[in-house]
Structure 1
């Protein structure tokens, strides 16, 4: 695959490629989530202490358990769940060393941190910005395929187009989106 294909590939596609042994696909998944996960750990621990170790442990678990990922759910939620569980395990290990009256003094929240919410909002805003710059037909295809998660066959049926036409147009829409993103990064 070319770099542009990895950049515009959705998480489910990258996960499938990684399962098939494509290490570059897993690197792109790691690159998409590592900073947000690290910030999660730093924020919850009140400093960077063991954040890098927890980040590494999280992505080792992601890699080892990739075959358990269910594409019916978003990859990001799955990774965050593993990260939260890794953090809970870390807190439990630390608390085993504390006297009984000091254990569980710090509640662990599963709600998104303010930083996670801002990151999610920024990513959505960026994607919407680039989607708005696509022609209407391409925008519709991208939304149907990657946001509404319709299969190619479902899109073809809903739009009354041949399957080959849908695949070609989605490919062109992804290429156009990739070019827009690349141009946007140069500014």
Structure 2
């Protein structure tokens, strides 16, 4: 079966490749696991239904669709943001539980610190590290210059380091 010129197999590959990154991005925006999951699913549905309109790369386009869906949801319901705890990592190696617990706690603290950033900074850092977008792509998506993205990422990393060291 072909959907607008793309085989189902290709759609599955795109979903498997980008769903986790997209979920983390949406989670960083809404702070709600269930909502992030719902928005991610809706993003792929909308994206796959309008694939013929893609002019940019598929990744940037998915992030754009996801952000627009989040903004629409935020406008409809002002109470969607919650402080749900996010479990960044499950313990998989029982032979080294202490090491895993330390890493898990560090990830939770980092996640918490990132969530305290202003939304623009949070979005930049999430797109770059979790979304694995290039600085040029982030600049285009957020209507910034490449230099502004590079400088902002440097400052945000410095800010995060300082906060983590203070703790």
Query: Highest relative contact order (Cα 8 Å, sep 6+), 1 or 2?
Result: 2
| Greater Rg by CA | 1
**TM-score, normalization by structure 2:** 0.49
